[in-house]
Structure formats: C-alpha cells, structure tokens
Chains A and B, each alone.
Chain A
Amino acid sequence: MVKLYAMSILYKNTNSAQWLKAAYDLQTFSFFQRGSVQEFMAFVSKTIVERTQTAARQSVKEGEYMCHVYVRGDNLAGVIISDHEYPQRVSHTLITKVLDEFAQKYPPSSWPTATEASISFNQINTYLAKYQNPREADAMTKIQEELDETKIILHNTIEAVLERGEKLDDLVAKSEGLSTQSKAFYKTARKTNSCCNFG
C-alpha cells in the first residue's frame, strides 16, 4: 500500500534529539492500537535520528515499513515513516522540502530551545495529507532529478542502525516516551504474531 504514516522534524543535539514538530496519519491502524502505534513511531523516529550522522541520509526497512531519515549539516533532522511501497525518492525529496521550509520560518538559533508546543508549523500536516498520493503531489516530474547528491544509506532492519551491543528490546524497556500499555503492546506483538492466534 502506498502510504505515509508519520513525518517528524527534530533537532539533533550532541547526545539526543528533541522534537520540533510531528504529524501522523494512523487511520489504517485499528482504533484501540493507534495511541501505542503513534508512541512507537515517535520512539523509532527519535532513536534513528540519534543514530544518524550529521549530513547523512538513511532509509531503514522494517517489515512492511520504511523509515527515511535526513540529518542536515546544521543538525536539523526530518523523519518519514511510510509503507515500503511508497517511493523512496519521493520521501527524501519531501523531507528536504519540509526541512527547508521549516528553516525559513524558524532560524537555526531558535532550534535548541524550541519545543513542540512553541512551534506552529501546520504545513507539515498539509504535506502529509498531500503526499499520500505521490501522483498528484506537485512538481512530481521534477522530483526524480531534484534530490541532492547525498547518498542514501540503506538498512534492512532497525537493529542494523543501532550501535554495537544495543538491543531494540532494551531500548523499548528503558524508553520514557512509551507508556506501560505501549510496552505491553510491543511485547505481545513480538511474542505472538497477532494474526495467527485468536488474539
């Protein structure tokens, strides 16, 4: 399915990343799980930004999902989580575009102190909605050529992005951003393949 689930803008400090803005489209997830899915996507976005070098692009495949990340030279970072059928180059072009627009509106000096609440950048929602259909998104013909020459590093699992010795399970368990409910969801999702049992 061609689908964008989440798009976030973060600022990468030396040790960690902080949120500047995020948008989600989780209609395709079942109602009672949406909250947890959103928490989990936020968690993954942050984790991956923290493990991406400055001025680098990465694309990570995890099951049916793709996570695209771009950290600019000035440490402004963008993440898109999409379905694996969503064209990769469109995702990266979109990140570039959104980050440029964001940087125009908010000067780099404001990033280290900004919070999600202090920023109003509704364009991110508009873009998420508009780019659900890459055929209709504007200037599609140009997209193919426009992308800068930064090479995209591809990974086949999230684990591959993590540093040596790190385990996703441990990160989930330690995370403060995930509620106990979401952690339980994560555990059950790992343990049982939910479509195969009655659950």
Chain B
Amino acid sequence: MHDDIFPAAEKILTDIENIFKRDKLLKDFEIVPVTVGENKSPVLHAEHTLGLQEWCVRHLYVHVYHKVMNLKRQQRLRREDPSVLSRLLLGGVLLNPDCTTLWNIRREFVVLGRFDPLTELHINAITLSRRPKSAESFVYRRWILKRMTAEPLESATLSSIIEEELQVSLMAADRYANNYHAWNHRMWVMSHIPQAQDKFYDEWTTSEIWVSKHVSEHSGLQYREFLLNQVDQHLEHTDYCLKFQSSLESFLSPLKHSIFNSDFSKHSTVSQRLYQSFVDLLDKKESCSQCPMNCKENNFMLQIGFLAYELLLVTDLIHLYPGHEALWCHRRFVLFCFFSLSKKISCNSTKESDIMDGIPLPKTQKLCVLEIDSDKCFLWWLVMQHEDALIKDCVIKTTEESYQTKLALRHEKWIKSVLICKENLSCRTQSVS
C-alpha cells in the first residue's frame, strides 16, 4: 500500500546501505538542504560522509515507519527477507534515532545473531553523528557494549572498543552544546569497563583541553569533577606529580607573601608534616628535577596537587572568559574538595571524614553549614587566599553591574554561608568601593 506512494524509497534505502557496506570508515551522516529533487539519487557520499537530500527525508521515513510497523503488527518481522529488513531498519534509525521501536527490533536481531555487534556500534555512531543528543542511541550503545564486554574479549579488541567509545562521546559532545548524554556515556564507559581506568590520566589531559574550549558547559566540567572524585584511586602513578610541580608552586605562593600565623601545637601531625614539606618545596626550588613530594608516603600531596591544578585552571578560565557561571560552579566543587581534604588533614584520626566528595548530602543535612577552623588548617587558609585574590580581581576589573562582578560576589557569599571559617575573608566588597 505505502510502497505505491513513494516507490523510490526502497532504492534510496539500498543506496544508503551500499555506502555502509562499501565504506567501512564512514563517520558522518547529514541531511543536505536540497529541497527540489531531480531524477538523481539523493544519496551523496564524499570523504567518509553520507549525505541525504532533504526533499526525500520525510517520504522515506514515512515509508520505513509504516513498513516496519506493519510487519511488527503482523508478527512477520522474522519472516521478512533479511536484506529488506536490514535496509529498512538502517534507514529508520538514521532518520529518526529517537524511535525506540526500531532499536528494539535491532536488539531482537542482535540476540538472534543476525546482526553483528561491531557493525551495530558503527551504525549507532553514525546515527549519533547527526543526532548527537539522542538518548535512545546512547542507551542502545550501552546495551551492545554490555553484551560484548560480558564475554571475555581480546585485550586489543577491548582497548580499541574503549578508544572508539571515547571518540564517539567526544564527537557527540562537540556537536551538540550541553550534551549531557555524551558525557554521561563517557562516565559510564570509564566506570563500567574496568580496563578504561588505564585511561585516567589521558582523560585528565583531554578533558582539560575540552573544558578550556567550552567554558559555558556544565556537562564537560562535571566530567572533570567525576575524574577528580576518582583521584585517590590513581595515586600510584607517582611520576605524574612532576606535572603538578609548577601548579603546586603557584598554589603555595601566598606562603611567600603573607605569613600563616598559627599556633602549630593545635595542628594535627599530618597537617604539621604537610606544612613542612610545603615550605621545603618552596625553599628547595633548584632541586626540583626529582620528585620532591615523596608521593608514595604522602598521598595528600598528590591530591592537593590535582586540586591546585584545577583551581588554577579555573582561575585562568574565569579571567579569560568573564561571565560564565559554569566556571564558578565548578570552582565551588573544587573548593568543596579542598574543604573535605582540609578536614581530613586537620583531624588527627585516620577515620574517613563524613563529608564525601561530590555525593550530595542527605536532605536533612543540606541546610547545615559546614565548618572548619582555618586557624588550625593552613591548607584551607591557602585556598582562602586564592579566593580572596580572585574575587578582588574580578570586582576591581569589571564594572559594578557586570555579570562577572555579580558572579564573584555570589561566590563570596556562598563561601561565607556554606563553608564557614572562623577567620573572615579579608576581601570585603565595601573595601573595594
């Protein structure tokens, strides 16, 4: 019945499928805005990109949709000629990857062994190239991955799968602003495929580049928070701490200008030792060639290194790209990590602090403020020096009513009301104006 309306549909679908078969490196699918058709195939193919002219898209989808749904209704899907069915399903998911039914039929055929999982991943990636935010596509992708990784795989295959996943999620994040699904997928890969953990430090580097280019995106920054939360599982790579050398030094610079006045007898032993190694680090500047932090003995040092690096990165970005709330929110997360770390350091017991990084507090606890005695913790004192400087800087540099000023003042208020410290912030708005 519906064949009669648009007989070219099957031919177009075949053209599309042939390109998939011919070009194993195909990476993109797009609709080309050509609204008037000639008697020429609307399927274009160049540089591993598949294009489909717009005029046929609606007709084609209607054809696919009715045909598949009719087959399904009559329970004839399995009896249908596999070649016809495969091109229908391919066209269907390309044109509308949000149609769960089509993915479900594909699932059925994967279970039946008629569709190959690797090909499925390829097709799925191409649907994402046009609709990078399709939740259904990502769900299907994870379903396939779960099936594949349930069985033991060769390590080469596995690492190429991981590589591909990271690639796909980056592509999706690049193509659609605020693509939560893409980052969510990345987190899923990092936490569900154990071997992906090897990529931790690569991810740390890649995501820095990405967030520096997408300064208004919470989702990318959130992924970085996800990584920060895992830092303590990756502290054995001691050689990495060299990379934090310079950021640690800049982080400690307030120690050079102002003096941290405190009665050290009140400090925990950990805190005292840390303070000493910080001072050593600053003094022995010429002997930096070998790792001065002795990370194995003192994981705190590396954790502080990570956090300091992130804090300085955010400071940089806030200066360079004024007025992006996402950056300030991320900063709060970093402060929160510093905060709980300070608590751990300043209390003598080895018991885990009840403040868990990144995990939202229970409802009842949410309104409670968190307290720390910055007299007793030089780390927190250091962090506060940085916050002071940043807020001051933002308020001076921009005009009163600018968004950046508002964000800076809001940040100050947040610190004061949520992360209470006994020593008041030295920077007051009044003092500036």
Binding site for B on A (CB under 8 A): 1-3, 28, 30-33, 85, 87, 132-135, 140, 184-185, 188-189, 194, 197-199
How many residue pairs link A and B with beta carbons under 8 A? The number is 68
Contact B316–A135 (Cβ < 8 Å): yes
Q: Which residue of B lies closest to A86 (CB)?
A: B321
Contact B33–A184 (Cβ < 8 Å): yes
Q: Which residue of B lies closest to A143 (CB)?
A: B320
Contact A198–B213 (Cβ < 8 Å): no
Main secondary structure, interface of A, reads loop
Q: A68 CA to B95 CA in the complex, in Å? A: 37
B47 surroundings in chain A (CB, below 8 A): 31
Q: Is B418 an interface residue (CB 8 A)?
A: no
Within 8 A of A (CB), among B212-269: 212-216
Main secondary structure, interface of B, reads mixed
Contact B31–A31 (Cβ < 8 Å): no
Contact B33–A189 (Cβ < 8 Å): yes
Binding site for A on B (CB under 8 A): 28, 30-35, 44, 46-47, 49, 51, 54, 57-58, 61, 95-96, 174-175, 177, 212-216, 316-317, 320-321, 324
A2 surroundings in chain B (CB, below 8 A): 212-215, 321
B46 surroundings in chain A (CB, below 8 A): 31-32
Q: A28 CA to B320 CA in the complex, in Å? A: 23
Interface centre among A2, A32, A133, A189 (most CB of B within 10 A): A32
Contact A134–B31 (Cβ < 8 Å): no
Contact B321–A33 (Cβ < 8 Å): no
Q: A30 CA to B96 CA in the complex, in Å? A: 18
B34 surroundings in chain A (CB, below 8 A): 184
Q: Beyond A1-B177, A2-B321, A198-B96, is A31–B30 a contact (Cβ under 8 Å)?
A: yes
B44 surroundings in chain A (CB, below 8 A): 32
**Least distance between A5 CB and chain B CB atoms (Å):** 13
B61 surroundings in chain A (CB, below 8 A): 198
**Least distance between A38 CB and chain B CB atoms (Å):** 15
**Least distance between A95 CB and chain B CB atoms (Å):** 18
Q: Which of A33, A87, A134, A140 contacts B32 (CB 8 A)?
A: A33
